[in-house]
Amino acid sequence: MRKFLVAGNWKMNTNRQSGVALAAEMAAVAKTGEPGVEVLVCPPYPYLLPVADALKGSAVSLGAQDVYFEAPGAFTGAVAVEMLKDCGCQYVILGHSERRHVMGETDEVINRKVRAALRGGLKVILCVGELLKEREGGLTEKVLDTQMQGGLADVSEQDAGQIVIAYEPVWAIGTGVTATPEQAESAHEHLRKWLTSRYNATFSGQMQILYGGSVKADNAESLLGQSNVDGALVGGASLKAASFVPIIEAARKLWK
């Protein structure tokens, strides 16, 4: 059985004090040696080091929200893979819809970041998902296929073993609207079939596919209970332990 990954994407939120306090709360909740549920937090760049200190010795993993694809050098404002590793990061989120649709990142750029992160030893959470107009136009699967093909171009099966896919319907991110469990399962099933055709059935059956999009305490269990949903990439609800912990508890309940 694939284990659950519950990841908190703090986006451009928190300050040093609140981020460290939140990390300490999560460190107290996550259980060392818990086999079925991994907890991950992804703070903004400036707080990676203090959050890493707050998580030290705990079962919570540390991730970043983006990375550049070049080695350290003359790239003002960018952050390299080596820098994230030096801060203690194990994961990086790539291809988030806000990077795609607000910052204008293309599948080609995202793919370069994916390959750079993998070369540097980071695990990647690769986000894919459709806009509302694309869903309404019946284009969800076509959009997912395009983003998967672009994001995983030239990524071998061995390297892809360090990737987690996150399905995030753009129309459900930060809107309060959540995909139904059936909609989430349908998209996840399609992604798993795509992985089977791109790699093989054994590999596809092992890859974690997370759901992201207004995940909250009251819908977490129904979403995570779907057979092809292996966890959650959580935005707003990850900013307070009171709303994030119940999502972790839902995963624990289902694992048992």
**Known catalytic residues?**
96, 168
> Can you name the residues that pair with 94 across neighbouring β-strands?
126
Please give the Cα distance from 19 to 51 (Å, whole number): 7
Q: How many helices (H) and strands (E) does the chain have?
A: 12, 8
Cα 22 to Cα 41, 74, 133, 234: the distances in Å are 10, 34, 36, 14
Q: Which regions of the chain does DSSP assign to beta strands (E)?
A: 4-9, 37-42, 60-64, 91-94, 123-128, 163-167, 209-211, 231-234
Pair of tokens at residue 46: 């400036």
CB atoms within 10 A of CB 116: 20
